[in-house]
Structure 1
Amino acid sequence: MFKFISFEGIDGCGKTTLRNAILKRLLALGVPATSIGQNSWLSVPEAYVILSARERHQVFPAATMTRCYLADKLLHYKLNVHNLRKYGVVVSDRYYVSDIVYMHALHSMPLAQLAGEFLAESFIWPDQIYFLDVDPNVAMDRIERRGKPRRHYEQITDLQRLHDTYCTFFDQYEDMLPTELHRISNDDGALEEVVETVIQTSGILNNPRCSRTPS
């Protein structure tokens, strides 16, 4: 199996830009690679709950939201990630950590409970996680410069809450994560420097395959 890595962080931290740059670099170097998004959207009932809650169209019990997020990820890995990583490195714009952080920060669900359920042994995590740590004010400026309609949580108060939750989660649960965690400051947006950091710390060029074979 080829490596599976994910980028985590608040909106405006540079995840998508970095993901695309990494993918371009790997392909240019002859390393087979592809990218995926955070969700599978392969089951209509789960997708309905996730999207409705995300856009604040409807409120659901915490247990329902957790079940739907986990079910979506299970399908995502089994039917998307698992098959893709047979043929190349898989680079994800968010994965499990964002589910945990956004449910806690935006829906007030207990962080410890979420962490416990998402850290269960039945779920396969990326081989490496890269947390792009960005000041919420910097992220807010980037979002505004996009010139696109903002999501309801793309406000400075929500970005600050999300940032704090990411930091709290990694501070409290880093030792329990079944994966490598790398924290990268991306305030200055030095894309080439960050790309080089990821390439070097991931070891993809030396060995694009992971040391273990996920089931």
Structure 2
Amino acid sequence: MMPFIVLEGCDGAGKTTIRELIKSELESRKIAAVTIGQHSWLHPWNSRLIIQAREQRSKVLPEVLTSAYLSDKSLHGKHNVMKAISSAAVIADRWIYSDAVYHRVLYGIPMRETLEAHFNAGTPIPDLVAYVAIDPEEAYRRILQRGKHTRHYERPADLTRIVDAYEELWKSNFTFLHEHQIFRLDNSEEKSSLKEKVCSLLNGILRLQNQENSPLLGV
């Protein structure tokens, strides 16, 4: 199996840039790589519920929202991730960890509850999570530079709460990840330094694939 890599972080952190750096670096090493988004959108009714909640079109009960996201991710894992990793590395822009963080911050759903639901349902657990760390104020500045209307969860107060929740999550004992599977990337630095960190990340995950229990070294 090829590696399943997940990018996590608040909006404006620079996940898309890093995703393309990872993909480019893998391909330069002659390793096939594909990128996927956060959702599968394979179940029409659950997709509708997710969009309604995200865009605040109507109020969705927490238990209904959890069920919709669980169904969406399960289909994503089965029909997209598991099929792809037989022949290519998969790089996902967000996974179950953003579900846990954003649902806690925006809807008051405990992070443990979200993650345990995914774990019990057999949602694929990544080989590595690259957490893109950034100051919330810098993230908000980058969001404004896009020139688009900001969503309700892209404003400074919520961005700060989201970053704090991520930090709490990585320190918890219910991420279903070992310490060496979480790699922190600080995206407040120069792009050249960021590329070096991406290379270090890939060296680690490829060692992990080739040597069972090999430690993943951060920088």
TM-score, length-normalised on structure 2?
A: 0.87
- Cα contact 2:2–2:88 (8 A) shared by 1: yes
What displacement does 1:175 show? Answer: 6.6
The match for 1:193 is: 196
Q: CA offset at residue 99 of structure 1?
A: 0.8
Specify the alignment match of 1:163 in structure 2.
Answer: 163
Aligned mates of 2:4, 2:25 — CA distance in 1: 16
1:90 aligns with 2:107: no
Give the drift of 1:208: 6.2
Distance in 1 (CA, whole Å) between partners of 2:45 and 2:210 is 34
CA contact (8 A) 1:42 1:72 kept: yes
Supply the distance in 2 between the matched residues of 1:33 and 1:208 (Cα, whole angstroms).
Answer: 15
Give 1:22's aligned amino acid: I
The residue number in structure 1 matching 2:183 is: 182
Give the distance between the partners of 1:20 and 1:67, measured in 2 at CA: 31
Report the 3-state secondary structure (helix = DSSP H, G, I; strand = E; otherwise coil) of the residue aligned with 2:78.
Answer: helix
The alignment covers a number of residue pairs equal to 210
CA-based RMSD of the aligned residues comes to: 2.2
- What corresponds to 1:202 in structure 2? 205
Structure 1 residues 24-77: Cα deviation after superposition (integer angstroms, max 9, x where no partner): 221122111110011100010110111110111111111111111111011001
Partner of 1:5: 5
User: Structure 1: where are the runs of 5+ without partners?
Assistant: none
Determine the structure 1 residue equivalent to 2:139. Answer: 139
Q: Secondary structure at the match of 1:7?
A: strand
Give the share of equivalent positions with the same residue, in percent: 33
Classify 1:210/1:95 alpha carbon distance in 2 versus 1 (closer, same or farther; 3 Å).
Answer: farther
Match in the other structure for 2:43: 43
1:145 Cα deviation from its structure 2 partner: 1.8
Aligned AA (2:186): S
Instruction: Tell me: CA distance 1:23–1:47, structure 2 relative to 1, closer, same or farther (3 Å).
Output: same
Structure 2 contact 100–110 (Cα < 8 Å) conserved = no
The answer to whether the Cα contact below 8 Å between 2:129 and 2:183 also exists between their aligned partners in 1 is yes
| Superposed displacement of residue 143, structure 1 | 1.2
CA distance in 1, matches of 2:211, 2:60: 38
How many angstroms does 1:184 deviate by? 2.3
Letter in 2 for 1:46: N
Contact 2:115 2:174 in 1 (8 A): no
Name which structure has the greater RCO, CA cutoff 8 Å, separation 6+. 1
Residue 105 of structure 1 corresponds to which residue in structure 2?
105
Structure 2 residue runs of 5 or longer lacking an equivalent are: 213-219
Question: 2:49, 2:60 within 8 Å by CA — same for their partners in 1?
Answer: yes
2:22 is the alignment partner of 1:22: yes
Kept in 2: contact 1:89–1:208 (CA 8 A): no
Give yes or no for the alignment of 1:74 onto 2:74.
Answer: yes
| In 2, Cα distance between equivalents of 1:137 and 1:61 | 31
- Is the 1:119–1:177 contact (alpha carbons within 8 Å) kept by the matching residues of 2? no
